[in-house]
A and B are shown apart, each in its own frame.
Chain A
Amino acid sequence: MGGPEVERLIALLARLPGLGPRSARRAALRLLQQPQTRLLPLAAALNEAARAVRTCQLCGNLDSADPCTLCADPRRDRGIVCVVEGVGDLWALERAGVFRGLYHVLGGTLSALAGTRPEDLATEPLLARLRAGGIVEVILALGATVDGAATAHWLTERLSPFGVAISRVGQGVPIGGALDVLDDGTLAAALRGRRPF
């Protein structure tokens, strides 16, 4: 169609989340039609990101600095650590702007199907942070799935000897959600997690 370079570009774009072969072709066409304003800046940004971005040794976030911007920020509450499954979850919490503590990226949840074992999760760095002291609360912000819950229970057992407060994010009715459209499981979790009002 446009030579091997174009085919390769389309094939690489098609591997990205949210893109299939058809949308990758459209994206490639747009890039190639406007090389100066789209393709070259994108190539430069990709190159720069590949060169500079690394995993934060403290929390597991992706950042161009190590420790990352969040870990290095002196205004954040260093006594609270929020444990998340992946960097995407960390970014989602940061986007919401509601949490001012530190994070820890676990790198997945225990899953027999995905082959994720306890040793595959980044628990040792978390335990090392607890050993270092100063942390008073760990918030488990893992998914409300069977694997997420199993991981939370397992992690609670590992963290309990440190004597820190361990909490979990709430589960239940989403903002803007009507009760009659919620599934039974969510309703049950919402009722179980009710609190005085």
Chain B
Amino acid sequence: MEWDAPAIVLDARPYGEGDAIATVMTEAHGAHRGLVRGGFARARAAVWQTGNVVQARWVARLADQLGALTAELVHPAAALAMEDRLTLAMLRAACAVAEGALPEREAHPRVFGTLLQLLARLAQGPELLADLVRWEAMLLADLGYGLDLGVCAVTGATDDLAYVSPRTGRAVAAAAAGDWRARLLRLPPFLCAAVPGDAADWRDGLRLTGHFLARDAFGHRHLPLPAARIALYDLVTTLAETPGDA
């Protein structure tokens, strides 16, 4: 059994002294693990950094074996992101969410393709947060936990949508929120229209998708939201509360 495909390194953990168990994500094979011989050796460690885009090759005798991974670096996203705190936080959060939420060896081509584009555009800075939130919403939809943000769950209106029910994931118009307003999650405008948003919108977007990721994608697997994702939310919250930084 073997395949050869462009892949994103989602994580690599040490195994033994110099080897690693890596999780990569490909278009056709989804999140896929494999043993990387010498993955943490000095010569190869740079390839297996989280977020890097590689040309990966997986080989095993049988399909259900762990198999061995080898890779050539295609795009050093990790090295390019290391200098900037927010960029690095976005890279770590996206990879941690994909690694933790996606079932192994289940293809999610949309999620892969969009994550690939995100990694290529990391240098854009905070504006990319809106796309990251959209990607998380897409990931939720791919896993069967899609949010219904097109129409108000109460009135059926399609405009003035400002909130999301934390229970059903359906949008609620501002006029229909009433006394429930405090219990609803704020729906940032960039999730309904092609607008970039500001730091407060990105924070609210991360809060929105974070709630459903924690409850559905991770909660159903009895896993907490990844620490890297929580750290990104904290960082964006700080950004939103710092005047002039947004």
Contact = CB atoms under 8 A, between A and B. Distances in A.
Contact of A17 (B17, B73, B80, B227): B17
Contact of B78 (A113, A146, A154, A156): A146
B82 A189 contact: yes
A113 B231 CA distance: 14
Contacts of B89: 150, 153
Contacts of A64: none
Interface residues on A, range: 20 to 34
Nearest to B230: A112
B45 interface: yes
B226 interface: yes
B54 to A, nearest CB: 11
B50 A146 contact: yes
Contacts of B83: 149, 192
A63 B215 CA distance: 48
A184 B79 contact: yes
Given A114-B13, A146-B51, A185 B92 contact: no
Contacts of B76: 183-185, 188
Interface in A85-114: 110, 112-114
B8 interface: no
- For the complex of A and B, the 6 pairs showing the least CB-CB separation, nearest first, are A185-B79, A185-B76, A149-B82, A153-B85, A112-B227, A184-B76
Interface of A: 17-18, 110, 112-114, 117, 144-146, 149-150, 153-154, 156-157, 183-186, 188-189, 192
